[in-house]
Amino acid sequence: MLTLPETVDVHAQAATKKVKLSRTPLRLLVSAMLAGMWIGVGDVLMWSTAGPMHVADSAAEKLVAGGVFAAALTIVVFAGSELATSAMMILPIGALRGVISWWEAARTLLAIFFSNMVGAFALAWVLLQTGVLHHGAAGEYFADYLAGKISHTPSELFFRGVMCNVLVCCAIWAAARLKSEVAKAIIIFWCVLAFIAAGFEHVVANMTTFALALIGGGAHASWLDFGTNMLFVGLGNLVGGGVVIGLAYSFVAGRASAASDDDLEHLDAQLESAENIEAELQAQHGA
């Protein structure tokens, strides 16, 4: 397992890669569209599998919903794509470490966010063509799910967003510390299960939810509802990922990775060797 300073360094390096990718906008667009699509797949998987339990008012509904939705973040991490909610932690860490500027962090985050949205809307259109949510338990669960999001106050959306990304970024942070793929998948599963079962708000997941309503027209949701959700959930996600996880762990880890005793011994040996070479050269010059 990596140390905390080493984990901060790993995320700082990831931040530089995101900024580098942003310099080829089309590649960033496609990568982030894929992430928006994978998260949307988690949405429809959740409605399809937990829908019958929702209709039956089963206590197992939230556990099943959280368990299957974990597939979405697992695919994002293992397949590789750019997700706004994890970038909300990674990019500020890179800016704190000084490997990217705050302007580069903000610009790259906005590009990922809106590219996720493009992917979510594209997936929503495809899902509407399939008809999987047009009837039955899955469709009823989706309609109730959307209505619940519209009913929340801005304050509720914000703080649910904070708590959601605390858990999502905890998964990304912890997975970076682990070397086993199985261990990474397990920590992602538990963190995602926690935020879905608790009813917290993920801004990218909500993109697909609202896109289905706005494009399909069957469910009652307005562009104002969508904008309100994106604003307050997005800000909450930013605070949860960027401040509660990213800045907090960067502070705990310190400004730089601590050198090990072996590293210090190796450095001392290199310095001693350099001094010996310098002394020999001076002796030869004097002769």
pTM score, two decimals? 0.86
Instruction: Indicate whether 156 and 281 sit together in one domain.
Output: no
Instruction: Indicate whether 148 and 276 sit together in one domain.
Output: no
Q: Per residue in 253-281, is it b (16+ CB within 10 Å) or e — as a string?
A: beeebeeeeeeeeeeeeeeeeeeeeeeee
From the list 18, 14, 5, the residue with the least C-alpha distance to 177 is 5
CATH value at residue 87 = 1.20.1080.10
What is the total count of domains within the chain?
2
Instruction: Indicate whether 67 and 15 sit together in one domain.
Output: yes
Instruction: Indicate whether 63 and 176 sit together in one domain.
Output: yes
Instruction: Indicate whether 205 and 275 sit together in one domain.
Output: no
* In contact, 89 and 166? CB cutoff 8 Å: no
CA 83/CA 245 separation, integer angstroms: 16
- The DSSP output letter for 100 is S
CA 8/CA 252 separation, integer angstroms: 10
CA 153/CA 195 separation, integer angstroms: 19
Q: Please give the residue range of the domain that contains residue 173.
A: 4-256
Instruction: Indicate whether 231 and 149 sit together in one domain.
Output: yes
CA 249/CA 26 separation, integer angstroms: 32
Query: How many H-runs (helices) and E-runs (strands) does the chain carry?
Result: 12, 0
- φ, ψ of residue 43 to 5 degrees: the values are -60, -55
Instruction: Indicate whether 99 and 185 sit together in one domain.
Output: yes
Instruction: Indicate whether 148 and 95 sit together in one domain.
Output: yes
Task: Provide the residue-wise pLDDT of the chain in tens; the chain has 287 residues.
Answer: 999 999 999 999 999 999 999 999 999 999 999 999 999 999 999 999 999 999 999 989 999 999 999 999 999 999 999 999 999 999 999 999 999 999 999 999 999 999 999 999 999 999 999 999 888 999 999 999 999 999 999 999 999 999 999 999 999 999 999 999 999 999 999 999 999 999 999 999 999 999 999 998 766 889 999 999 999 999 999 999 999 999 999 999 987 544 444 544 554 555 455 455 555 545 555 54
Instruction: Indicate whether 22 and 76 sit together in one domain.
Output: yes
Instruction: Indicate whether 37 and 102 sit together in one domain.
Output: yes
- φ, ψ of residue 120 to 5 degrees: the values are -65, -45
Instruction: Indicate whether 104 and 128 sit together in one domain.
Output: yes
Instruction: Indicate whether 225 and 276 sit together in one domain.
Output: no
